[in-house]
Structure 1
Amino acid sequence: MKRQLYLTAGLVSVALGTIGIFLPLLPTVPFMILAAFCFAKSSPALEKRLIEDRRFGPHILAWREKGAISRKGKLAATAAFAVSIALGLWMMAMPWALIPIGVAVICLSWLWSRPER
């Protein structure tokens, strides 16, 4: 049962990561890293396919080995947060419009503290 849950979560993560290729605000690599984690607990063959993938494999291995995130990934996340903040300020009333800023400060502080691959 537990193995099936990890397999399902891995497949959902791959699906969300694939959608993220086409939707700029949905991250792709974090979903693939999550999928590799889930597949490690449920399907070694699928985990191997992700790790050997030329696009996602290096990111997954960098995360596993050093907790590293590429500079390009950090910049993309920062840009996505900037868009979220701008939309929040434009579409939300105060004080609710401050929520995206608070979330961005917390998340980006953590993100930029990670080593780069």
Structure 2
Amino acid sequence: MTKEPPSRLSSVDEVMATYAISASPVKRVVFLSLGLVFIVFAVIGIWVPGWPTVSWAVPAAFFFSMSSPRLFRWTMENRWFGNAIFDYYATGKTVPKHAKYGIAGFITASTLLSAYGVWEVSVRGEGVLSQPSTWNGADPGFGPATVLLVGLVGVWFILIRVRTRET
């Protein structure tokens, strides 16, 4: 899955010709609406520290590629995240190796923290951490297990299914 794409597209016009597709009118409205929601989240990330920008702009560009050629072009040409979106599409929808491992690490850390939080609230209850027999929470452990499973699927998807580029 980490093969380099055969060639890099060199212009926004080439990306548009390769990835912009048309959808039925109903789908266009749905895709346009979803793209606008994602773009609002991406714009929030420009000013809020710690809030991702490109992570929201990639799905926005995807939805715009099926609904609005003008907005699809805009996602690749704007000054805040356009270069990252253009690189993603121009290289055959690939992610740099360092970003891929960073994303997987972030998913792992946030999954572990979330699973611990769910465990603390729903499983341990009033019990003592070192004495499982005193745990009196209402959940026998399905909540934290579900969080861990979803996190594992996310890490698997990023590491195995998302194509990688070296630079």
Aligned CA RMSD, in angstroms, stands at 2.6
Give the paired residue count.
116
Q: Does 1:99 align with 2:137?
A: no
TM-score if structure 2 supplies the norm length?
A: 0.55
| 1:10 counterpart (31, 35, 60) | 35
Q: Is the 8 A contact 2:34 2:60 kept in 1?
A: yes
What whole-Å deviation, never above 9, does each CA across 1:45-64 have from its counterpart, x for those lacking one?
Answer: 22111111344233323433
1:68 pairs with 94, 101, 115, which one?
94
Aligned partner of 1:39 among 57, 64, 76: 64
Distance of 2:42 and 2:104 partners within structure 1: 15
**Residue in 2 aligned with 1:109?**
156
The CA distance in 1 between the partners of 2:118 and 2:74, in whole Å, is 42
The farther-off stretch of 68-77 and 30-39 is 68-77
**Which of these two proteins has the greater Rg computed from alpha carbons?**
2
Structure with greater proportional helix content: 1
Indicate the structure whose relative CO is greater, using CA pairs within 8 Å and at least 6 residues apart.
2
* Residue 23 of structure 1, CA deviation: 6.6
Give per-residue Cα distances to partners, 1:41-86, cap 9 Å, x unaligned: 3322221111113442333234334231232354145224412322
* Structure 2 counterpart of 1:50: 75
Which whole-Å CA distance do the structure 2 matches of 1:19 and 1:54 have between them?
15
Unaligned segments of structure 2, at least 5 residues: 1-24, 124-140
Q: AA paired with 1:112?
A: L
Alpha-carbon distance in 1 for matches of 2:146, 2:53: 24
8 A Cα contact 1:88 1:100, kept in partner: yes
**Of 81, 85, 99, the match for 2:112:** 85
Check 1:73–1:17 CA distance in 2 against 1; reply closer, same or farther (3 A cut): farther
